[in-house]
């Protein structure tokens, strides 16, 4: 596990991590499970992994989680694995400190803390996507704010904050590799659905798994459209915040249409 | 069904919609059918849906309709469904107010009013495509007019109007969710083959289904070419209106070539 | 067949075309065949059609021809058909005036005159490609000359002329729809391997079919690379004419490598 | 074999090459083999060829080599062949002067000297990729230095040198077609993982084959992201050298994830 060293606190944090690893291995009991989960929900989480690859949001990296449907203090996510390869057997359960309920030697995503810390601060959130969405990354490294070009990306209308890990932790390996960094990212996200991570990627959240997938896909699409609109030159008319708020209600209403399509595509049942 | 609230007339319109829904459910008879339609034409409409996905004009959203071949006051379109999944069984019949002839509980596209209102104002039009064609959207949100870069897009040569829903209805959810908005969009279209919708997408019309599909595809292609030409810098020489008028006659003449190819591609008979 | 009307000579030309059509239909014998052609060469011409689609040079439109291997006054090309669908049975023989040797009611490409007129002026040319190569079109409508960004496109190093049909024939339908326009285009091409056609596409020629295909593919690739290099800003270092001349000798030497690969891809024998 | 003629030394070099060819053919014994190689490693080299095609780094051209695992003075690479077609039977052994151990009439890559000369100067390097990576080429012909936009391309953080063959050898055919040019390129590379070649492509090196493939893929991805970030306008915040150094340690740690995914994709075992 990489040791993050944010400025002058590096040694202290390294000590804490080493210490907690010791405790975990020898003394701290694994967290209790939130209980069995409907296999259909697990299957949807597998679909979400593959849809996000099929829709060019994820490549070999990135992850998607859901909050445990019966226990708000647990979440479900794959072991460390390329998302295109995830199967139901790879889904694990974690507490909100990102400790595995039943690790059995499996490798964990280095950045699982993103998910736990967002679930802590955002009780409304039931699903989290972390990606290196390629169209989005340029907006994280420039001063150009992402804005909603069209109605399908209306959820961006309230603004898209950018998290610069350097501002909170100095020189790092860029990863959200501990709870403190996860907490700082979740604070930057605030009440928004999307936050960019400078030099890294973004996170997308929603009150349901299909909506988190929808938002991740249309964040990527909107980034490409905004890039093109800016390249045309001259002023760009974005959705007003009021238009965006109204239009986003429609996205909720029509969500089943892309979700069913995208599941068909990755199920090999595309006809 | 979302209730659109265009400025100060919001309440009145909401009342009207609520009222008409009441009447429809309890009293107003469903409109009569224009009569049976050749299954080959229905199959072509299914092909059109899939071609427009295959050619990157439609994603999970958007729709394509044809006017009823025997009754100019009826049109045919899928129930609310991702266009890649449309089959002949999903095609429904509507009157020009966008009432279903035989709804049987099926969900309708929220923006079916686009089609009815265009068919009312344009007796020459036999097919309508509404899409979020990705290359086209940037032109709807900037001041750069779409123009015909090459002969295959010559139908753009007479100009491409832009419909800004905000100008006619104030703050909305961006959708053409009632007849009044459909009428306003159809008026903006006027006698042209294509109109852009700011922050939303575009509509493409033609005197035949294959030509509407052709125009939708080459509107998308032309948008990408125009974007690239502008990015090269310096003046761009577009087709003159006179060249465009002559060149568009050729598109009519060669239309069967792409149409047969595209049908083969989506039929799985590509060899 | 569309009648092109180039400025003040329109009537005269229209008369000539009408006249020759009359003569052809009732009196002029079909041209004699140059003799049977090796089926392997016909198959290569079919491959060339499909490779150019697979490599994104051709879409539903465009055509590729070869000079008859035994008779320099004949050439071989498909009947009017989307290139992805061409089979050996679709290949026809033409004289250099673009008259079919054995038409048998088949529809001919409107722009077959491109091929005949190039073969007349360029005895070194054994194959001609006409396409709407998408990356290339922007260079035909701006003042930015195409130049060789890298060695695989070294054949562009001697310059890429642009043919503007308006300059030679006034307002037209943009097509090379008769021999005079074909002759004017061939004159603009001169001794070069590539010429752009404003608002239309380009032509690519070579001393062999594989080399014509190679050049068409790398003209498209180079256009995209040049577009990107220009977008980065600042001066671009192109191949010098001397570097280009030397590098193009290598393209000749390594040509079999892409040709064999591309044939495998379109043969379904890709492994 | 093309004879490179750098300025006034052309004749002398031509003589030397002709001479060495004579000696090689009649007198100089072929170099001895470094010994048998684990077939799994050969298979990985075949995978590397196909992965680099699948990930759009290689087209019909380019090559990838590994240093012989038992003899640092030997390397392994395909005969001259499109990388998508390489099989274990095509892998050959070379000494560091790029002489084949067992040529048996097979054609060799013209630029095999790249590999031998890099292995001579860089004992830490175990794998070399040479490509015409399309996103990267624009950076080789402009003054814009490639920089690390995000953590997956952190290996670019120490700078990306550009090799201009014209500066060291005057007018050439752009190829690294002899040992002197290979040596000059290896010197430009220095201790870095990536060097661009003006008007040609790039080379990527690493201490393992999977890492060389990873770096080649993310050099291409980073080039596209950097191009987009620059196009947005305004200053771009790249990874600092210190961030890059830390982040690159993580790439080493997570390398198995993309490598296993990419092997699955080209094995036809993608599920």
Cβ atoms of residues C240 and D171 within 8 Å: yes
pLDDT of D21 over the 80 cut: no
- d(C-alpha D6, C-alpha D172), whole Å: 6
CB within 8 Å of D259: residues ≥ 6 apart: D210, D213, D214
Query: Cα distance from C33 to chain B (closest Cα, Å)?
Result: 28
Helix (H) or strand (E) holding B167, with range, is: helix B165-169
Strand arrangement, sheet containing B91-95 = B91-95, B74-78, B63-67, B127-131, B201-206, B194-197, B162-163
Q: Which two tokens stand for residue A230?
A: 């800016």
User: How many alpha carbons lie under 13 Å from residue B132 in its C-beta half-sphere?
Assistant: 20
Sort A87 into a burial class: Cβ within 10 Å, 0-12 / 13-18 / 19+. Answer: middle
Q: Do D243 and A199 touch (CB under 8 A)?
A: yes
pLDDT of B29: 87
Query: Cα distance from B268 to chain C (closest Cα, Å)?
Result: 13
ipTM of the shown complex: 0.89
Q: Partners of C244 in the beta sheet?
A: none
Strand arrangement, sheet containing C127-131 = C91-95, C74-78, C63-67, C127-131, C201-206, C194-197, C162-163
CA-wise closest residue to D94 among D123, D124, D120, D132: D120
| Test the A interface: residue of B49, B139, B173 with most A CBs within 10 Å | B173
Question: Which among B239, B243, B258 is the nearest to C60, CB-wise?
Answer: B258
| Test the D interface: residue of C135, C149, C151 with most D CBs within 10 Å | C151
Place of tokens 């620059």: D230
Q: Partners of D78 in the beta sheet?
A: D91
pLDDT of D189: 98
Cβ atoms of residues A92 and A106 within 8 Å: yes
- Measured between beta carbons, the chain A residues lying within 8 angstroms of D233 are 142, 144, 230
Low-confidence ranges of chain B (pLDDT < 70): 1-27, 269-271
CB within 8 Å of B67: residues ≥ 6 apart: B74, B75, B76, B119, B125, B126, B127
Neighbors of chain C by Cβ distance (3+ pairs < 8 Å): B, D
The residue from A89, A93, A111, A191 that is catalytic is A111
Dihedral of the alpha carbons of C233, C235, C238, C241, in degrees to the nearest 10: 150
pLDDT, tens only, C132-160: 999 999 999 999 999 999 999 999 999 99
Question: Which among B149, B247, B271 is the nearest to C173, CB-wise?
Answer: B247
Question: Which among B59, B138, B164 is the nearest to A225, CB-wise?
Answer: B138
Q: Do C246 and D171 touch (CB under 8 A)?
A: yes
Q: Answer with the residue of higher pLDDT: C128 or C8.
A: C128
Instruction: Decide: helix, strand or coil at residue A161.
Output: coil
pLDDT of C31: 96
Query: Of all residues in chain D, what percent carry a pLDDT higher than 90?
Result: 87
pLDDT of C27: 54
pLDDT, tens only, C91-101: 999 999 999 99
- D34: region left, alpha or beta (phi > 0 left; psi from -120 to 50 alpha): alpha
Q: Which two tokens stand for residue C249?
A: 């000798």
Q: Do D174 and C237 touch (CB under 8 A)?
A: no
pLDDT of D234: 85
Cβ atoms of residues C105 and C113 within 8 Å: no
Q: What is the DSSP letter of A84?
A: G
- Measured between beta carbons, the chain B residues lying within 8 angstroms of A240 are 166, 171
Query: Cα distance from A197 to chain B (closest Cα, Å)?
Result: 25
Phi, psi of C153 (to 5 degrees): -110, 25
pLDDT, tens only, D79-121: 999 999 999 999 999 999 999 999 999 999 999 999 999 999 9
pLDDT, tens only, B67-120: 999 999 999 999 999 999 999 999 999 999 999 999 999 999 999 999 999 999
Q: Which two tokens stand for residue C246?
A: 């030397």
Q: Which residues of D are catalytic?
A: 111
Question: For the residues C227-238, what does the mean pLDDT come to?
Answer: 96
- d(C-alpha A185, C-alpha C149), whole Å: 43
Q: Answer with the residue of higher pLDDT: D19 or D197.
A: D197
Question: Which among B232, B242, B258 is the nearest to C138, CB-wise?
Answer: B232
- Measured between beta carbons, the chain A residues lying within 8 angstroms of B59 are 221, 258
CB within 8 Å of B86: residues ≥ 6 apart: B46, B49, B50, B78
**For strand C194-197 and strand C162-163, is the pairing parallel, antiparallel, or unpaired?**
parallel
pLDDT of B92: 98
- d(C-alpha B255, C-alpha B251), whole Å: 6
Phi, psi of B196 (to 5 degrees): -90, 155
- Measured between beta carbons, the chain D residues lying within 8 angstroms of C235 are 142-143
pLDDT of B27: 54
Whether A260 is a known active-site residue: answer no
Q: Partners of C196 in the beta sheet?
A: C162, C202
- d(C-alpha D3, C-alpha C57), whole Å: 33
Q: Which two tokens stand for residue B195?
A: 């109109």
Query: Of all residues in chain A, what percent carry a pLDDT higher than 90?
Result: 87
Cβ atoms of residues A222 and B59 within 8 Å: no
Dihedral of the alpha carbons of A41, A47, A49, A54, in degrees to the nearest 10: -160
pLDDT of C19: 42
Q: Which two tokens stand for residue C263?
A: 């044939």
Q: Do B173 and A270 touch (CB under 8 A)?
A: no
Chain centroid, CA A38 distance in Å = 22
| Test the C interface: residue of D137, D177, D220, D226 with most C CBs within 10 Å | D137
pLDDT of D36: 98
pLDDT, tens only, D110-142: 999 999 999 999 999 999 999 999 999 999 999
Q: Do A59 and D258 touch (CB under 8 A)?
A: yes
Q: How many CB atoms lie within 10 A of CB D168?
A: 17
Q: Do C142 and B239 touch (CB under 8 A)?
A: no
Instruction: Decide: helix, strand or coil at residue D65.
Output: strand
User: Three-state secondary structure along C179-211?
Assistant: HHHHHHHHHHHCCCCEEEECCCEEEEEECCHHH
pLDDT of C12 over the 80 cut: no
pLDDT of B17: 45
Helices C209-232 and D209-232: angle between axes, nearest 10 degrees:
60
CA-nearest residue to A142 within chain D is D236
Chain centroid, CA A5 distance in Å = 23
Query: Cα distance from B70 to chain A (closest Cα, Å)?
Result: 31
Q: Which two tokens stand for residue C111?
A: 């722009």
- d(C-alpha C238, C-alpha B190), whole Å: 48
Cβ atoms of residues D81 and D91 within 8 Å: no
> Whole-prediction pTM value?
0.91
* pLDDT category of residue A3 using cuts at 50, 70 and 90: very low
Place of tokens 């077939």: D39
Instruction: Decide: helix, strand or coil at residue D75.
Output: strand
pLDDT of A46: 98
Cβ atoms of residues A124 and A92 within 8 Å: no
Q: Which residues of B are catalytic?
A: 111
Radius of gyration of chain D (CA): 19
Q: Do C82 and B232 touch (CB under 8 A)?
A: no
Question: Which among A150, A221, A232 is the nearest to B230, CB-wise?
Answer: A232
């Amino acid at each position: 596990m990489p040791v993050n060293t944010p400025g002058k606190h590096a040694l202290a944090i390294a000590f804490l991590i080493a210490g907690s690893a010791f405790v975990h291995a020898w003394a701290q009991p694994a967290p209790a499970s939130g209980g069995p989960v409907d296999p259909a929900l697990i299957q949807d989480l597998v679909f979400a992994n593959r849809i996000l690859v099929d829709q060019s949001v994820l490549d070999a990296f990135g992850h998607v989680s859901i909050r445990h449907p019966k226990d708000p203090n647990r979440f479900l996510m794959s072991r460390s694995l390329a998302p295109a390869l995830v199967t139901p057997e790879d889904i694990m359960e974690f507490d909100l400190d990102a400790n595995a309920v039943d690790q059995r030697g499996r490798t964990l995503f280095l950045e699982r803390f993103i998910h736990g810390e967002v679930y802590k601060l955002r009780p409304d959130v039931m699903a989290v996507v972390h990606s290196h969405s390629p169209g989005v990354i340029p907006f994280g490294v420039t001063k150009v704010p992402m804005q909603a070009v069209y109605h399908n990306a209306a959820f961006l209308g309230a603004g898209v904050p950018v998290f610069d890990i350097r501002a909170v932790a100095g020189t790092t390996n860029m990863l959200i590799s501990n709870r403190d960094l996860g907490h700082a990212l979740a604070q930057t996200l605030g009440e928004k659905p999307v936050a960019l991570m400078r030099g890294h990627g973004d996170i997308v959240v929603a009150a349901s798994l299909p909506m988190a997938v929808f938002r991740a896909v249309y964040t990527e699409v909107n980034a490409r459209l905004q890039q093109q609109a800016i390249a045309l030159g001259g002023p760009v008319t974005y959705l007003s915040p009021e238009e965006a708020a109204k239009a986003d209600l429609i996205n909720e209403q029509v969500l089943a249409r892309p979700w069913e399509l995208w599941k068909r595509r990755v199920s090999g049942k595309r006809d």
